[in-house]
Amino acid sequence: MVRPIEIAGMVCPNNVFLAPMAGYSDYPFRKMCRALGAGLSFTEMVSCKGLAFGNEATKKLLTTGEGETPRAVQIFGSSPVLMRATCESEELAPFDLIDINMGCPMPKIVKNGEGCALMENPVLAFQIVSECVKSGKRISVKFRTGMKEGDRLAADFAKLCEDAGACMVTVHGRTRDKIYSGPPDYGQIAEAKAAVKIPVIANGGVWNRKDVDKMIDRTGADGVMIARAAMYNPRVFCEIAGAEPPSLLEIFLIQLRETREYYGDAFATVQMRKMAAFYLKGKHGAARGKQRLFAAKTPEEVEALARELLVDPGEGTTV
């Protein structure tokens, strides 16, 4: 089930991908998940308008480097012309694949006609994909099964993306109104897979190796994409690959060091407090540990707390 995958000539070592996650999928996190076994990783969704206006915070989301090849970026917007210009921009030159977000459920995105609003605007969605394809880059699309319970849009939408020139689609097996809750709709992902020849990646509710097998068994998808399971436990990629994971503390300290290096101490303190709190989930004393973490004011304080709190049972603090 877990196997290498080729997407329009781009070879990924395996078909278990790290999903785009706004606020979390920064370069150090993506790089770490790749080192732990993710076959491909995506930046968080990047605004085409933000890039066009030269917004520095938007540009920062495109930070990438070694340990992340091939590279994938996700963009969002609703103007075919602007989106094609983004695909052709210098800023996106380091990326081998450009994913278009047509699945974001957030009101501020949907009310602009972006994200999953595009599922209800197939003419515009087609124009966006076909314009972006003209950039000569590999274009993929991530979308949902529809807007509301009962919608069955996945198969037709996958076909629309393929006809417009996309080289891969990711189907998040939930409707917009479900946000991230409930089981994925395996049936609709299977229908999307049957409707197209391009690779179909299945997303939603994959937490472990068993879920990967179940997802691929039930849908016939070519691979899976994992979001929240990685946010809580990036070592899930080792578990899926059957590899021995490094200690939680070890990976946390690398992530902290690199987050400081790429984004500075103020950002690293806030971000890595959050990450440590996620990694603590399920551990003894997690609630009190989280309180202490959120009181940390410097990366050194975050590190000291991590050395105390993120130790696996039976493990010493030798890192």
Ligand X SMILES: Cc1cc2nc3c(=O)[nH]c(=O)nc-3n(C[C@H](O)[C@H](O)[C@H](O)COP(=O)(O)O)c2cc1C
| Catalytic (active-site) positions | 104
Does residue 185 interact with ligand X by CB under 6 A? no
Site for ligand X contains 180 (CB under 6 A): yes
Residue 50 interacts with ligand X (CB under 6 A)?
A: no
The residue among 196, 103, 118 whose CA lies nearest residue 156 is 196
Residue 209 Cβ, how far from ligand X at the closest point, in Å? 14
CA 142 from chain center: how many Å?
Answer: 10
- Is the Cβ of residue 51 or residue 249 nearer to ligand X in the bound state? 51
Distances (CA, A) of 120 to 28, 115, 130, 309: 35, 10, 17, 47
Check residue 101 for interaction with ligand X (CB under 6 A): yes
CB of residue 218 to ligand X, shortest distance in Å: 15
Cβ 318 to ligand X, closest distance in Å? 32
Asked whether the bond before 70 is cis by omega within 30 degrees of 0, the reply is: yes
**Of 91, 33, 55, residue with least CA distance to 235:** 33
Q: Which of 296, 256, 301, 254 is nearest to 275 (CA)?
A: 256
Residue with tokens 């969704």: 45
- The site map against ligand X for 139-178 (x = CB under 6 A) is ---x-----------------------------x------
CA distance 230 to 116: 23
Judged by CB under 6 A, the stretch of 192-200, 214-222, 225-233, 253-261 that binds ligand X is 225-233
User: Distance between CA 21 and CA 18 in Å, rounded?
Assistant: 9
Q: Please name the amino acid found at residue 51.
A: L
Residue 138 interacts with ligand X (CB under 6 A): yes or no: no
Beta partners for residue 76, in sequence order? 47
Residue placing its CB nearer to ligand X in the complex, 233 or 249: 233
Instruction: Considering the complex, state which of residue 73 and residue 251 has its C-beta at the smaller distance from ligand X.
Output: 73
Q: How far is the CB of 25 from ligand X (least distance, A)?
A: 7
Cα separation, 168 vs 139, whole angstroms: 7
Site string for ligand X, 239-278 (x = CB under 6 A): ----------------------------------------
Tokens encoding 267: 């950002």
Compare residues 138 and 172 and give the one whose CB is closer to ligand X.
Answer: 172
* Binding footprint of ligand X on the chain (CB under 6 A): 19-24, 44-45, 74, 101, 103-104, 142, 172, 180, 203-206, 226-229
